[in-house]
Amino acid sequence: MDKIKRYFSFDNESITGTTFFIRFFAGTALVLFLESVNHSFAELIVSILLLPILIIALWLISAASYKRGSAFKWEKSLKVICSILLPFSPILSINTTGTGNYTYYAFLLVAVLFNILLLKNGNKN
């Protein structure tokens, strides 16, 4: 149980870019699966029953973002900002439909933050 618990905890554990990508991908896949459900009445009931899976997916992305920020020894406030913004990335990517709306610019901001977390070297002192 402790091994599973550490995936969802917000502690100062450092994770690598590969681990961050795997956790982010798993959370995003769950969000995209839930988003693909059509919204007739029967499927709306199924969507409500699947809401805990959505919460788990967003929590996984958030915890992974916080832990990846810990690998860079960032301030706690910056790690909290990452853990708040990055779970919206899969949702923003679904709703982005051109360069004229604000969700596009929000998605670009979150995408830049994601790439920093993914590609920056956390082994530097």
Provide the residue ranges of all domains of the chain, joining segments of one domain with +: 2-7+14-119
Q: What one-letter code names the amino acid at 83?
A: S
| pTM of the predicted model as reported, rounded to 2 decimal places | 0.80
User: How would you classify residue 50: left for phi > 0, otherwise alpha for psi between -120 and 50, otherwise beta?
Assistant: alpha
Closest by alpha carbon to 61, among 99, 103, 106, 118? 118
What contacts 57, CB < 8 A, 6 or more positions away? 26, 27, 28, 30, 31, 34
Q: Would you write out the chain's pLDDT as a tens digit for each of its 125 residues? A: 677 777 888 888 888 888 899 999 988 888 777 776 656 666 666 667 778 888 888 899 999 999 998 888 889 999 999 899 888 887 776 665 665 677 777 788 888 888 888 888 866 65
Burial of 95 (0-12, 13-18, 19+ CB in 10 A): middle
**Other CB atoms within 10 Å distance of the CB of residue 65:** 29
